[in-house]
Chain A
Amino acid sequence: MEGRKYEAKKITKFSHLFLYLLFFSANASFESSFSFSSSSTNMHTNNWAVLVCTSRFWFNYRHMANTLSLYRTVKRLGIPDERIILMLADDMACNTRNSYPAQVFNNENHQLNLYGDNVEVDYRGYEVTVENFLRVLTGRHETAVPRSKRLLSDEGSHILLYMTGHGGDEFLKFQDSEEIQSQDLADAIEQMREKGRFKELLIMVDTCQAATLFSRLYSPGVLAIGSSLKGENSYSHHLDSDVGVSVVDRFTFYTLAFFERLNMYDNASLSSLFNSYNPNLLMSTAYYRMDLYKRPLDQVPVTNFFGSVMEMTHVDSAYHAFSGKTKYETPHIQMPSSDQSTDQAEQQELRTSDASIETKYSVKEVKPGNNHLMGQWKALLDMVEDTDAFVNYGLLAMALVAVISSWVLS
């Protein structure tokens, strides 16, 4: 009697577990298809940079040098090439007037060739248009556009948008032929937010009257800094008398000077960057707009935007189980297998795999308890004390299901 009772209890327990498993698998597949909107809004998963030089012609050499300098900096601080969209409106390196063919410098000491081996320009020359720029931001590309030319960010991305060129009151000139207006930019960014293309966005603009360009922004999570206020010009820093042109703008020069002191592991905050601009040296007033941005600037490391360093939380689960595999192709879950720990790891991966395939670059942040299903699953696991018995019952149940199904079918 005692034994039967125990047996019956065990069976009840098992059936509960079985039902739970079925229910959970259904739930999990449901969740995986809607993971954009629900599961990970608070996670910073990856970093992107869009670097735009909008002006062409030899005398705008400095704009290309600005952009290439920023490109070099963010690469040095850890953003890989495939997450940088580099738009250069002209090719100064191969300009016939360049007395250093195929080289671009941002300093008259000529120690650093910005146009070295590993420069991947995604949009060059006449491809740099307002249309293409807005397409990159909003992700509305023609199907033929390769992945390398797309901004494949998600709702966990931090994006750095750097723009330089000739601007004016609420516009930025592209290619000497068209211009983007501040309202266009604001609308494009709102569209990005609605589509979950970023978590936080830092816009950095180095043009004349740069502050006017982001005056129309209204999307939360956007931080913007510009080199000059309305009515102010942004000036070039110095002239290279060998090349015969100005090679860098003041705002960018001092930005670079700030970053040259940093490496990937430094903890400098955005406020320290923003406060490093000296109006007397810039000959203009750097202005940053933070009413749309929630986090206090002194607690945000610059590497959150200019590098690819993310907050890391240690979790107990075993990483070796999925180290080589990508489950992105098959997001729906199989029937639970015998190994629960693998199962659990799979669930964890499921939550993040759609966000990032390259798990080796990004370290995932896991906050336990943010998912009630996970909590239930944990409680259930706590219920099962004897893991071996659980596995055995699982096998038995599968065999039973196989027998019943074959019997029914026959």
Chain B
Amino acid sequence: MAENNSEDSSSPPKKRKPRLIAFVGDFLISHSYAVSVFCCFAGSVALLLLPILAKNTYLSENALMPGSAKPTFSSQEAVTAKELIKELIDWKIIRDENRMQTYEIIANHMAETGADVYYHSFYSRKKQFHPMSFFMGAPMEDNNNHSSTHAVNSVGIIRAPHGDGKEAIVLVSPYNSDKMELSDALSVGLAYSIFCLLGRAAWLAKDIVWLAADSKFGEYASVAEWLKQYHDPVFIGKKLNFHPVDGDIQFVRGISEDFKRAGTMAAAIVFKVLETSQGTGTDNVNIYAESSNGQMPNLDLINIVHYLAVHRHGLHVEVGKLSSLLNSLWLKMVGKFLEGVSNIVGSLNPKWRFALPVLDYVEGTAVLASSVYHQALGVPTGPHGAFRDYQIDAITLEISPRVSLNSEMARSSFLVRVGRLIEGIVRSVNNLLEKFHQSFFLYFLTSPSKFVSVGVYMIPFGLLVMPLPILAAALYSGKASEALVQKSDPFNTQKSYKASQENPFPSVGSWKWIHAAKLVFAVHLWATIISVLPSLIYQASCTNTTTNFLIWIALSIPSFFFFYWISLSSYFHSNDAGWAILKALTIGAASIGLGLMSIINFATAQIGAIFLVPMCLMVHPLRQIYRGAGLGELLHMVSNVVLGLIGFPPASFILLKGWSQGFEEVNMGDLWVWVENLWSWNSATYLYLLLVHLPCWVLCLIVLLHP
């Protein structure tokens, strides 16, 4: 190349000297094979290094000051909580038609603290597919579609004594009014005792809203209905007459049916008490943070909870992890390998030592995988997800005691510990001056106190996706085809490279690509149509999930052949090397799809890239590989088939499910349930799977089977 340049400069300027960026681009395209291999390898390594690159969390917002104030929650508050718990448990035993409803019991207690109290009643809604409202949170529009039963939330608002009433903190305690369990009663009792305490606090700057959410129709639904009403008031709503006409029940003063509001919500905390003890020796707090489409609350909120729970109250904090990864042998080997490398490097310079101990690495990877998975799924992990749809930072705390809570003593000490934690969280959030904005919104957790920020986790994705456009350009310009086929012969590559130097874009100007483009377009059109099919099938209301799935498949395959037939005739008229153009276009479509998806939900794009990129890069007509007879060709063929199999979404779903839960439990209906789950939660992952992943897989299949 240098010789070329010197020749150019010495001879009269026949040809303009290429600019640097054009030169680099040309160079990359010419060496697309090496670039692809290097980038994929580097991307995978970077992915495995993520748990090591995780940083410790820290509180970014100065104003929060968690733990700086002494908690005032005492056993006195625990006594009030226990009274309510007892009342709620007794309620279950009494079988009397005229007894008070649970929401009334709770509301009466709320009113005793001097708060503004009202009932919010709502109907359950059917699951709905809203193709137009993706990315816009959970759907709740149709008013005609509700059932006849309703549930009632009790809501209490403490107005801050000196505050301006412009902001509020929301506490949510879900309980199921149909079957009141001890854990439900404990959640409500705990919330009540905190509410009592806050009612007396002089330091409130934000109003406190306690939502005792009747989770008869699901925890998420009750919270989401209330939030919808809070933010989108309905002025011509009909009042629900949910009291018996003869009405022995007297309204306690201060309870109304009018919907009342406090200010903008600064943060929301959902807490549930679990009865079952984890047996860890300490009380356990499980944090759920993921909400729809991989949105996360501000990291500071998790930091407050973690700091207070661990450093102030000695609780154990956990975030979700994929426990199946904990025993995985290959992960341990990777961890050991990294540790070994780090030890060798560390012996050269102790500062370069980077690795974690193997167990920490495996644990971190398991948590990271769970974090990525739940974000990628795009389905909220708890009622907090409803808040995120209104840009409110919220988390769910699932608190499990260290010992069984059947005894009074254990209950009381447990309530004091957890009550102080929640008081501390409220007081810290109360100190906040603006919305949470200092810390990260885009992160993966690798432990409750460690996170991978967006700047780090983008690197593996970038490395994985980078070869796609390069290879597409190489294939399109015809530079890569020979290099790929005859990759074992470096001399030949050199020659083809030189040949391409002379005529940089042989296929530019010809319209060969139009046939392939037509096929790509047809496949994407087909994918769009089948992505709407489940909703139609659901309308037909078959209850059997397996049947639904089979109908979906049965409808998809003929429609595919219809589109294939339309576009294929022209495709086959193109020349023999048409598959290269098709592959180029497929790869181009995949990289565009992945790039778009990484903006909408990064985690989905990350996982998608792991499946899609190797498949797209490796794909090659089997018949052409078959002509060669070496070991390399065999490997290439096998890997093509394997990647093609894994790349099929149902196949990969079944494999993953079977791997994590055992193959005997897998059936076709599960996949339907999973897909239905995705679209009923308006997850963008559904769109990705059907509009990006599936068409790319089909196109790869067409390339594989190219004659």
Contacts and interface: CB of A to CB of B under 8 A. Distances in A.
Contact of B433 (A57, A98, A242): A57
Contacts of B164: 96
Interface stretch (B31-39, B64-72, B189-197, B636-644): B64-72
Contacts of A241: 68-70
A101 B162 contact: yes
A96 B205 contact: yes
Contact of B203 (A94, A99, A239, A246): A99
Interface in B182-220: 201-205
B62 interface: yes
B160 A96 contact: yes
A366 interface: no
Interface in A86-134: 94-101
A239 B204 contact: no
Contacts of B427: 244
Contact of B431 (A59, A100, A101, A246): A59
Contacts of B314: none
A97 B162 CA distance: 8
Contacts of A58: 63, 431, 433
B63 to A, nearest CB: 5
B601 interface: no
A243 interface: yes
Interface in B53-91: 62-63, 65, 68-70
Contacts of A246: 68
A245 B65 contact: yes
Contacts of A97: 203-205, 430-431
B628 interface: no
Which secondary structure dominates chain B's binding surface? Answer: loop
A95 B162 CA distance: 8
Contacts of B162: 94, 96, 98, 101
A242 B164 CA distance: 22
Interface string A221-248: 0000000000000000001011111100
B163 interface: yes
A97 B164 CA distance: 12
B202 A242 contact: no
Contacts of A59: 62-63, 65, 431
B163 A57 contact: no
A72 B556 CA distance: 83
A113 B430 CA distance: 24
Which of A94, A95, A97, A243 has the most B CB atoms < 10 Å from its CB? Answer: A97
A43 B201 CA distance: 56
A57 B433 CA distance: 8
A94 B433 CA distance: 15
Contacts of B65: 59, 244-245
Interface residues of A, number: 18
Task: Sort chain B's interface into a size bin.
Answer: 20 to 34
A96 B203 CA distance: 6
Nearest to B71: A241
Nearest to B160: A96
B63 A57 contact: yes
A117 B163 CA distance: 24
B68 A245 contact: yes
Interface in B550-604: none
Nearest to A242: B70
A242 B72 CA distance: 9
Nearest to A58: B431
B202 A244 contact: no
Interface in A48-101: 57-59, 94-101
A215 to B, nearest CB: 27
Contacts of A96: 160-164, 203-205
A304 B221 CA distance: 71
A242 B68 CA distance: 9
A244 B205 CA distance: 13
A294 to B, nearest CB: 42
A244 B68 contact: yes
B195 to A, nearest CB: 18
A222 B69 CA distance: 41
A101 B62 contact: no
A64 to B, nearest CB: 15
Nearest to B161: A96
Given A97-B431, A101-B162, A244 B63 contact: no
A98 B430 CA distance: 11
B202 to A, nearest CB: 5
Which of A57, A100, A244 has the most B CB atoms < 10 Å from its CB? Answer: A244
A95 B201 CA distance: 14
Contacts of A95: 205
Interface in A231-280: 239, 241-246
Given A57-B63, A59-B62, A101 B68 contact: no
A101 B69 contact: no
A244 B201 CA distance: 13
A58 B70 CA distance: 17
A276 B53 CA distance: 47
B201 to A, nearest CB: 8
Nearest to B70: A241
A265 B431 CA distance: 44
Nearest to B204: A96
B203 A244 contact: yes
A101 B433 CA distance: 18
A292 to B, nearest CB: 35
A244 B160 contact: no
A242 B202 CA distance: 11
Interface in B429-448: 430-431, 433
A244 B69 contact: yes
Interface string A370-401: 00000000000000000000000000000000
Contacts of A245: 65, 68
B701 to A, nearest CB: 59
A123 B205 CA distance: 25
A59 B204 CA distance: 15
Contacts of B63: 57-59
A96 B431 CA distance: 10
A99 B68 CA distance: 13
Which of B161, B164, B201, B431 has the most A CB atoms < 10 Å from its CB? Answer: B431
A70 B163 CA distance: 30
Contacts of B433: 57-58
Interface in B136-161: 160-161
B163 A244 contact: no
Interface in B239-258: none
Interface string A24-35: 000000000000
A98 B69 contact: no
Interface string B402-440: 000000000000000000000000010011010000000
Given A57-B433, A101-B202, A243 B160 contact: no
A38 B366 CA distance: 82
Which of B63, B68, B203, B427 has the most A CB atoms < 10 Å from its CB? Answer: B203
A100 B69 CA distance: 13
A245 B65 CA distance: 8
B68 A239 contact: yes
B693 to A, nearest CB: 48
B434 to A, nearest CB: 10
A253 B162 CA distance: 30
Nearest to A241: B70
A59 B62 CA distance: 7
Nearest to A60: B62
Contacts of B201: 99
Interface in B511-563: none
Contacts of B431: 58-59, 97, 244
A98 B68 contact: no
B69 A242 contact: yes
5 contacts: A95-B205, A99-B203, A100-B202, A241-B69, A242-B69
Given A95-B205, A244-B69, 4 more contacts: A59-B63, A96-B203, A100-B202, A244-B427
For the complex of A and B, 9 pairs with smallest distance between CB atoms:
A244-B69, A241-B70, A96-B205, A96-B162, A99-B203, A96-B163, A99-B202, A97-B205, A59-B63
